[in-house]
Structure 1
Amino acid sequence: MDLLKYTRNANFEARHQGNYQICLAYMPPGAQASCGSVLFYFLKQGRRRWNVESTHLYALPTLPLTIRLCLHLQFCTTLSKVKPFILLTMVRLIREEQINTLLRSKEKPTCLKGVVTVIDGGRLCNKIFEYVSVWALSRSYGLVPYVPDTIHSVLKDVFTHLRIPPLSELVQSFVNCSNINVTTLDTPSIDFSHLEATARKAIESEEPFVLSKYVILHQFIGPLVGQLKEEFKFRFEYTHIAQARLGDARARLEEFYGKRETLFVAVHVRRTDYIGYLSGKGVTVIADISYYRHAVAWMSRKLISESKTSHNIAFILAGDDKVWCEMTLLPEIQKEIHSFGKQTYLGGSSVFYLGDIDTPVVDLVMLSSCNHSIIAYGTYGIWSALMANGWAVVYDITANNKPEENKLNAAMEFENILPNWIKMT
């Protein structure tokens, strides 16, 4: 067995041993005997179905009404016959309802157990990923989530609702708690090499589980990507402006190529201060014109090959360097589009610079509203691509730089686990 498979199996067994403990903790009285089937089933199937079954633990199916009633009334007598992943889903639902009840309550326990939070750091999309990392870890391990008020106050003006409350609501209940106080909430407690073990221990601990600033827990966020649009809905004052911009691009394409379905491809550019940051980390070759041309060509071929009807393609360009985007990159992308030639299922294609550095949230909503994505690096582009949840091309920073530099591009971490993400140079 090679090292990768051995590591995966070891992680798998550790994870499901933790799920067994969660099952024991949160199943109704009299039903805990069924928890053994959870552990046995996943350990038995894990070595040949690791990738398939592990996704059930993060993106679990909705239970039928009969099972929900069974849980609510606690009169089930045949839980041992329920399929293990359904049983685990039942456990998660019970814990989720416990957490929701706790968060809705105005009076919090004096010394709350199983708290997960994060240290605030960075700009808008850093804060988004800090919040989402807390959310994803809470969903995976049944922890009670809280975020700093500084994160909550920024994101509540971006999204229509936030399920995770601000830390100030928890701090009020810190009196006489030896293991939880304002100081502990400013000290990261996470060891990424033992993240899952730390998360399992946190369930029964008064000591908070504190994530470090700038954190992106891709291994927990990735399996939940299909739930992001439902959980994180942008506010109307941003969406209607973003949709108006996309509508204008659609109208311009239809004027020249006729009315047909339009596919939108977001193209995000991150330059300015980030180039200096990468240079300071030893990166000498950054995403340049050739990368974006290759990505546009690949995306065009991919969308045409998948289509059964004629459609237009609108490449929506936005970034933090307007002059470079408009004067240098846009003409080159247009050349790539023209060189692609006339195709059977392509009505027409063009590129539009629709970004505005004075409206970063609108730009984020606009890129997130596209069907597919082309990004280089940076949290802004990564978040928009996750929200779009279509094909995503990311820059392979390791191709012409040191292999360890892949840690500087979190997009490549998602590319490793999301099948519709592709890396190239």
Structure 2
Amino acid sequence: MDFEQSLCMNNIKKRKVWRLNHCPQYGIITIMQGGRVGNQMWEYASVWAVARRTGLEAYVPRCMRLKLDQIFEQLSVPTFEEIGHCPVEINHFVKSLEAWNFTNQSIILPRYYIKPELVLTWVQDIIQEFRIKKKILEKSQQILRIAAKFSTAKIHTFIGVHVRRTDYIGYLMRKHNTKPADVGFYKSSMAYFERKYSNVIFMVVSDDPSWCWKKLGYKNNVYITSRSHKNSPALDLAILASCNHSIYDYGTFGEWGAILAGGETVYYNLSHSSSCKTARILKNWHTL
């Protein structure tokens, strides 16, 4: 219990009774919880992928599963509830895949661990792992239909547009010494998709919908999803994942929206970001 709690950002409820499954014969792979939905998706996916690579048994803390279970169907990596009765040998843990040497050794990955080059080796499998709950998907599909109702075309090409601003503006300056993407990035990316595909509708997901409306609302094929009321992160992710293609600026949330959509992605070229690593693996990701 103390070990599991040490992996979580917030306190988790103590359990009087744990499921008594078999104790791991060899080492395990787990991770410390950090960040919001996008970060925790990378953290979960990293545990899932390292387990595949090493053969170690994968477990995530309940605090992470409680968050992700609100969005996704039947995630396969179990929680420590399965082995809560088993002893924990802290001195058998290392902090990276690179430091791991033998099967009896366990790995505890740090918060904010992002390894696209490992996870995306099995990109179609991780897309299947992150299957969004049916009710959330149905609601996102309803929003796409609303966005298309003023068009006379029967078939549309939906482009998910992720616009991250608010807290990220300061982060970009501190971390990368750069300003956020200006409206020119979104306009040129939209123009690219309009040239390439027919009956394009842009589904804009943003933490600053008023900025999006001011800068992009003049286009009659732009639908700003949270302009009238704020969507949940789960619904925003489902909207992005339901689109055919993606325009992505930065941040792990929009990155996962584009990965789950699975189509062509135009991304903002930000040096040292995980999107650059992702683009080296996924051939349909590119900058303009």
Question: TM bucket by the smaller chain?
Answer: 0.7 to 0.9
Across the aligned residues of Structure 1 and Structure 2, the Cα RMSD in angstroms comes to 2.0
- Structure 2 residue runs of 5 or longer lacking an equivalent are 1-18
1:276 aligns with 2:181: no
Matches within 5 A, 1:8-407: 106-109=20-23, 112-174=25-87, 177=89, 179=91, 189-190=95-96, 195=97, 197-199=98-100, 201-202=101-102, 204-205=103-104, 207-254=105-152, 258-259=153-154, 261-303=155-197, 311-331=198-218, 334=219, 350-355=221-226, 357-397=230-270, 406-407=271-272
Cα shift at 1:357: 3.2
The structure whose residues are more often helix, as a share, is 1
Q: One-letter code of the match for 2:129?
A: E
Cα offsets for 1:169-206 (capped at 9, x unmatched): 3342116x4745xxx5xxx611xxxx4x445x24x12x
Counterparts in 2 of 1:395 and 1:106: CA distance versus 1, 3 Å? same
Cα offsets for 1:118-171 (capped at 9, x unmatched): 110111111111001111222233221111111011111111111111124334
Give the alignment's TM-score, normalised by structure 1: 0.59
Match of 1:416, SS?
helix
Give the alignment's TM-score, normalised by structure 2: 0.86
Aligned residue-pair number: 268
- Structure 1 residue runs of 5 or longer lacking an equivalent are 1-104, 304-310, 335-348, 398-405
Match of 1:373, SS?
strand
Higher RCO (C-alpha 8 Å, min separation 6): 2
Cα offsets for 1:213-271 (capped at 9, x unmatched): 111110012222222332221112211111100111222223xxx32x21110001000
- Please name the residue that 1:17 is paired with: none
Paired with 2:176 and 2:140, the residues of 1 have a C-alpha distance of 36
Cα shift at 1:373: 0.3
Paired with 2:162 and 2:90, the residues of 1 have a C-alpha distance of 47
Paired with 1:141 and 1:169, the residues of 2 have a C-alpha distance of 20
1:412 aligns with 2:276: yes
